[in-house]
Structure 1
Amino acid sequence: MEFQHTTVLLHEMIDSVITDPHGIYVDCTLGGGGHSLALSEKLEKDALIVGIDQDEEAITAASERLKGVSSRTIFIRDNFSHINKILDSLHMDQVNGFIFDLGVSSHQLDDGERGFSYMHNGRLDMRMDQRNPLTAYDVINSYSEDELARIINEYGEERWARRIAQFILRFREEHPIETTDALVSVIKAAIPANARRNGPHPAKRTFQAIRIEVNNELGILKQVMEDCAAHLTPGGRLGVISFQSLEDRIIKRTFREMERDCICPPDIPICVCHHHRIVKSVGKPVKPSDKEISANPRARSAVLRVVEKC
C-alpha cells in the first residue's frame, strides 16, 4: 500500500519554524515527508533536514519523495525520544528548528493490516515501530481487568472503561480477540445502546487508548520537548502539532514550565533558584481553518504550538 498522508497545518508550521534558511532542521515525525518537503522549498542548498521516524514504511516513502530536493537530507529510523543519541551520532550540538506532528498518520489508519483503525479490519497490531515487541493483541489478551480499565479511562477518557474491560476479559475467556473487527464488536456490546447513538464511533476512545499504550506516546513527550529545547540555537524554534487533548495538555504544560523564570515555591518571598526561562511562546496556538477542515476532516482537532529559544 502506498504511503499517503495529508499534512495538517503545513504552511503554518513551516512559516513559524524557519528562522535561518541556511540552518539545520529536524523533522521528528517524518511520516510521508510533507513537512520536510515544504521545508526544503524554503531552505537554501547548504541547509540540512534530518528526518526521523520509527515506521519503516514512512522512512522508505519520505526518502523517495524527497530524493530531488536541493537541500541536504538525512533519514534516520528511530524513535524521537532518542533525540539526544541521534544528534550525538550526527555530531550536532545545536539545531535551528524542530518539527513534531504527533499521533497516528493517515497511512497507518487507512492500512487495515497495521491494526490501528476501527474502520478497517486487520490483526490487532497498532505498532508505529514494527520492531516493538508489544502489540495491541498482547494488551487486549494479556492485561488484567484493572490494567485495561485504567488505560482505557486514562488514555481514552472513556466513561465506560471498566465495563469495556470486563467485556474484553469475558470474551477472551472463550477465545483470543485477534482482529480490530472483533474488538469493535466487544466494545459495542459493552457500551449501552443509548450511549452509542450520539457522539463519535463507540470504539474511537478505546482504540486511541490501546494505541497510546502500545507506543508509549504520552510517556515520552515531556522529556523529548526538554531535550529538543536544550539543542536549539538562540532564536531557534520548536513547533508541535497535537491532535488530542491528552497530548496537547502535556505540550502546553511543558512549554509553560520552560517559559517560567522563577521556579521557587510561592511561599518564598525572594527568588533563590536563579532559574531563567529557556523558551518563549511564539504567538497563540494555531488551529486549522474551516477550509482545511472541510478538505481534511481529520485536521479538526489539530493544535499547533510554537516556542523560541531564549
Structure 2
Amino acid sequence: MNDPGERIEFPHYPVLYNEIIHALTPKRGGHYVDGTVGAGGHAWGILQASSPDGLLLGLDLDPQAVDLARRRLETFGTRAVIVQASYTSLEEQISSMGWRSVDGIVLDLGLSTMQLEASDRGFSFDKDARLDMRFDPSNPIRAEDILNEYSEQELAEVLFRNGEETLSYPISRAIILARPVTTTRQLAEIVSRVVWERRRGRSKDSRKPSLHPATRTFQALRIAVNNELENLETTLPSATHVLKPGGRIAIISFHSLEDRIVKQYFRRESSDCICPPRQPVCTCGHIASMLEITRHPLVPGQEELKQNPRSRSAKLRVAQKVG
C-alpha cells in the first residue's frame, strides 16, 4: 500500500507520520487507539505496520472526520473500528471493544486541514464564516456565544488563559463594543485593529511577522469551546491506566499550553518522588508509572515542513508504561 499522504482523495497529510509509527512500533496482534483519528492517516500507518491482525480503535468528535476515516480505512475491514466519541471516553470505549488494555495510544491535538479549510466551521480567519469552532456539532456552545455573552472580565480571562494573549483586556473591550460579533472576518478585523493600535511605533521585531494578529484569539476561543485543555488533563491518567506494561503513548501538540501539560505529566509520572525540590526527605510515596522516551520533543524535519508548512508548530512527546 502507498503512503497515506499520497492518496489524492484524502488530502490531509498526517503530521510526524514516520515518527509516530517509529515511536509506537506497532506489532502483529497488537491493540491500538487513535484518540483523534481525523482523516485516518496515523491510523492507516498503525494498521499497516501491525498487519495482518493488529486492531485499531479510532475516536473523533467530528462526524465528518469519522466518515472520512471509515472510508479511508475500509480496506482493513474489521481490524479498524471508528467511533464518534471524545478521547476523554477512552476507558469506556476500550471496554466496549472487549479489550482490557492496549499496546499504544496516539493523540494528534491539532486541527486538520479539512477542518481549517471548511467554509462553515469558523476555525480560520482566512475564510469568512459564522463563529462556530465546534469539533462536535452537538456541543451547545459556539464561539459566537462566548463572544456575545461573556462579560469583559470573563472574555479577557479566556483570551489570556487559552491564547496567552497579552492584549486580552483591550481586545475583549473592543469585542464588547462591537457586539454582536458573528463572523470570522469581523472578529479578525476587530482584533487586528486593537493589536496594530497598541503596537504602532514599536520595533518591527516586537512580534513575529508570520503571526496574524488574531491567531491567539482564535486559538483561545477554539480551546474554550471544545474544553481542550481540561480534556487533555483528564485523559492522560486514563490513558496511562489502560496501557499495557511496555505500551506507549505518543502525543502531538501544536502550542505551548498543550505541550506544557503533556511534558509536566510525563515528567511527574516518570519520577519516584514528586515532593517539593527543597524537601529533604521524600514523603509522597509516589511510584513512577511511565518512562519518558523523548526528553526533548520531536519536531518536523525540513522535508516535512516543505510538504506541509502547517506542521511547523508540531511537537511530539512519547512515554512508555512501566511495571
Whether these two folds match at TM > 0.5 is: yes
Quickly say closer, same or farther: Cα 1:268–1:168, change in 2 above 3 A. Answer: closer
Give the structure 1 partner of residue 309 of structure 2.
Answer: 297
1:263 is aligned to: 274
Q: Is the 8 A contact 1:258 1:277 kept in 2?
A: yes
- State the TM-score, normalized to the length of structure 2: 0.90
Structure 2 alignment gaps of length 5 or more: 1-8
Aligned to 1:288: 300
AA paired with 1:306? V
Write out per-residue CA displacement over residues 233-270 of structure 1, whole angstroms, 9 at most, x where no aligned residue: 11100000001111100000011111111234556544
User: Percentage identity across aligned positions?
Assistant: 40
d(CA) in 2 for partners of 1:282 and 1:210?
Answer: 32
Instruction: Output the CA distance in 2 between the equivalents of 1:4 and 1:77.
Output: 21
Q: 1:178 aligns with which of 182, 188, 191?
A: 182
Post-superposition offset of 1:194: 6.8
> Partners of 2:270 and 2:287 in 1: how far apart?
8
Aligned with 1:169 (options 176, 191, 204) = 176
Residue 122 (1) aligns with residue 134 (2): no
Aligned match for 1:309, one of 284, 296, 321: 321
CA distance in 2, matches of 1:225, 1:36: 20
Which TM-score applies when normalising by structure 1?
A: 0.94
- How many angstroms apart in 1 are the aligned matches of 2:169 and 2:274? 39
Would the aligned equivalents of 1:3 and 1:58 in 2 still touch at CA under 8 Å?
no
| TM-superposition CA deviations, 1:91-136 (whole Å, max 9, x none) | 2221000001002211111112100001111111000111100001
Q: Which residue of 2 aligns with 1:141?
A: 148
Q: How does 1:1-310 map to 2 (within 5 A)?
A: 4-69=11-76, 72-172=79-179, 176-193=180-197, 195=199, 199=208, 200-266=211-277, 269-283=280-294, 284-310=296-322
- Which residue in the other structure is 2:6 paired with? none
Partners in 1 of 2:86 and 2:43 — Cα distance?
17
For residue 3 of structure 2, what is the aligned residue in structure 1?
A: none
> Matched residue pairs, number?
306
Q: Which moved more, 1:221-230 or 1:113-122?
A: 221-230
Distance 1:3 1:130, change over 3 A: farther
| Residue identity in the other structure for 2:188 | V
- Give, in whole Å, the separation in 1 of the partners of 2:275 and 2:214: 44
Contact persistence 1:156–1:208 (CA under 8 A): yes
Letter in 2 for 1:43: S
Q: Cα offset for 1:207?
A: 0.4
